[in-house]
Amino acid sequence: MSPQQSSAVRLHVVTGKGGTGKTTAAAALALALAAEGRRVLLAEVEERQGIAQLFETEALPYEERKIASAPGGGEVHALAIDAELAMLDYLDMFYKLGRAGRALKKMGAIDFATTIAPGLRDVLLTGKVCEAVRRKDKAGWPVYDAVVLDAPPTGRITRFLNVNDEVAGLARMGPIFNQAQAVMGVLKSPQTAIHLVTLLEEMPVQETMDGVAELRAAGLPVGAVIVNMVRPVLLADAELAEVVVPDPGPDGTGTPPAAANGKRRAAVAKALSQAGLGGARRGGVAERLVDPLLAQAHEHAQRVVLEREQRAEIAGLGLPVRELELLGDGVDLGGLYRLAESLRKQAVAGTVSAPGAGAGAGEDG
């Protein structure tokens, strides 16, 4: 998501493994894109009302409405896309059914159709999003500068976006064929970028790598990897190396030699004492805090090592990377704006945040 890419890309699809903060990242991205007077649409398709919760507003209806202002006079509008209502739009647009279409809904025919027709539900959802991308005002200008889609999880994102090819294969002419072709024209164009949200953990990173491979194989445009919930590194590299693995000791059991262990313990006890946490003598308050603190340092060092391994895996994808730090108190509206500013600054700089720095999102689907 470089400045050049942001100006060229008009549809940003955000996906990620469940629990990585996909919806939060999508909302922050929408706010970041809306800066400096731009108008952005944020859409969801999973009927979870996650966007409304993040922006602390009432449940979104099947209509576009403004939910937030961005720095510089920008606006974020939002839409919760319902497949049945999108089907009514489709029937009215192409077949002029009007009331007849609403009668079909009451009879359950639309729900039946979206259930049994392969890919029809997804083509309706993506079709509504792509229509917003292409829509123009009376002067011929795009209604939205960008559209952000909070999409299904990584495990089914390729099928969700590429299912339109299957629909196009079922119908060789007519409105369904034309709709599918138009949608795929947007999704596979340089106008679109699919961003994947992950954590610095083995399973989410592996799913991200698998998702990137599937998207590339399908000819769908991959954008950036958004590394979410990044925690700060609290120790310098030399300190990390010292505490990450206990010294093996003379018996090879992992117990540090007495001299080395004693030196480390004495240094920590002295620092605690100087901080006003009691005397450093044996049995004193400061001395009793040493073992728990050394254990925490060891766990922290191990986590940092594992996270650096996962960063290396992500770097191997050859994609732009953005980082969002963990917000310890969860994500409220103020935190969401903070995340948006972090994304905006990283895009302007064209660089990823330093390891352990950034601004972060909480968990969601």
Residue holding tokens 């590339």? Answer: 216
**pLDDT tens for the 365 residues of the chain, in order:** 443 344 467 999 999 999 999 999 999 999 999 998 999 999 999 888 999 999 999 999 888 999 999 999 999 999 999 877 766 666 555 444 444 445 444 444 445 444 545 467 777 788 889 989 999 999 999 999 999 999 999 999 998 998 666 665 555 656 667 777 888 899 999 999 999 999 999 999 999 999 999 999 999 999 999 999 998 877 677 666 666 655 444 444 544 444 445 556 556 555 555 555 555 555 555 556 666 666 776 677 778 888 899 999 999 999 999 999 999 888 999 999 999 999 999 987 764 443 343 445 555 65
The DSSP secondary-structure symbol of 221 reads P
Extract the tokens encoding 124: 């309706």
Structure token pair of residue 55: 């922006």
Give the contacts of 148 (CB within 8 A, at least 6 positions apart): 12, 14, 26, 29, 30, 33, 40, 41, 42, 43
Q: Which residues contact 119 (CB under 8 A, 6 or more apart)?
A: 163, 164, 166, 167
Quickly count: other Cβ atoms within 10 Å of residue 50's Cβ.
20
Its pTM stands at 0.80
291 CB neighbour count, 10 Å cutoff: 11
Provide the pLDDT for residue 299. 73
Q: Determine the pLDDT at residue 50.
A: 93
In whole angstroms, give the CA distance from residue 247 to residue 253: 9
Can you name the residues that pair with 149 across neighbouring β-strands? 13, 43
Q: Which residues contact 146 (CB under 8 A, 6 or more apart)?
A: 6, 9, 10, 11, 12, 30, 33, 34, 38, 40, 41
Tokens at 47, concatenated: 């009927």
Q: What is the DSSP letter of 63?
A: S
> Residue 335: which of 17, 88, 31 has the closest Cα?
31
CA distances 197 to 39, 235, 276, 280, 338, Å, are 23, 26, 43, 46, 17
E-assigned strands of 1-153? Answer: 11-16, 39-44, 65-70, 74-80, 146-150
| CA 176/CA 174 separation, integer angstroms | 6
